Amino acid sequence: MSALIFWGWYKNKVRLTLWSLSLLYYFLCAPFFSSGLLAWLEAPSKDGLTHTNPQTVVVLGGGIKEGDLHLPLSSDALKRALVGVSYAKTNNLPLFFSGGGNKALSEAEGFLISINSIYKPFNVNVAKEINFITEDKSLNTVENAKFLASLLASNKTITLVTSAYHMKRSRYIFEHFGFNVIELPADFKQDYPSTLIWQDFLPSLHGLHQSYIVSHEIFGILSLWPQGIWSPF
């Protein structure tokens, strides 16, 4: 009798667990949910533009594709680079691109190749138009901030360019190293509609990818806690 009771309890627990996991998986794959999460993640800080007179534009690397000889920057990194170059030129500011990586071609090298590939056909020498500073040793955002902090000893007000979903974590890190951050987000991923349609409730790989981006950033922010860079309290 006790064995039957245990078996019945066990089956109910398994059934409840499977239903819970299925429901969680549905929400993670449904665009109405994943886009809503991204909308929160990509929302700008309320004081994101309170600082003025930035000293430099800082563009963070975001991956590289070694097989692409003309535009080796990943799509995320390329959007960041284009926004940063445009802002630096418009405001007559130097541009600091930070990105190393563990591949044969560094992100900094990929940045220079990509920018030249885009502007050279228009007879524009970007290196003459903008003062570039590149750094190819850092492997993550914390090291990005460390290297730049060693270069800028006085005025540390910067315009920070990175993907919108990556801005919260990046700002926490750069402010920890003494920077005043003006946010200039690029490469938005969320497409949360003003009016939901029935397709937004259908699970999709696109929705799952959006949820992956959010979870990756949340865990990235939480990883700053034991490092003393960020605290929820």
Domain ranges in the chain are 56-186
pLDDT digits (tens, 9 = 90+) for 40-93: 899 876 555 555 678 899 999 988 887 787 899 999 999 999 999 999 999 999
Give the pTM.
0.87
pLDDT digits (tens, 9 = 90+) for 123-134: 888 878 888 888
> Parallel, antiparallel, or unpaired: how do β-strands 95-98 and 132-135 relate?
parallel
Burial track 142-152 (b if 16+ CB lie within 10 A, e otherwise): bbbbebbeeeb
Place of tokens 């990943």: 74
7 confidence band (pLDDT: 50, 70, 90):
low
Q: Which of 2-6, 135-139, 224-228 has the highest mean pLDDT?
A: 224-228
Q: Strand 56-60's sheet: what is its strand order?
A: 132-135, 95-98, 56-60, 157-163, 180-186
CATH number of 56-186: 3.40.50.620
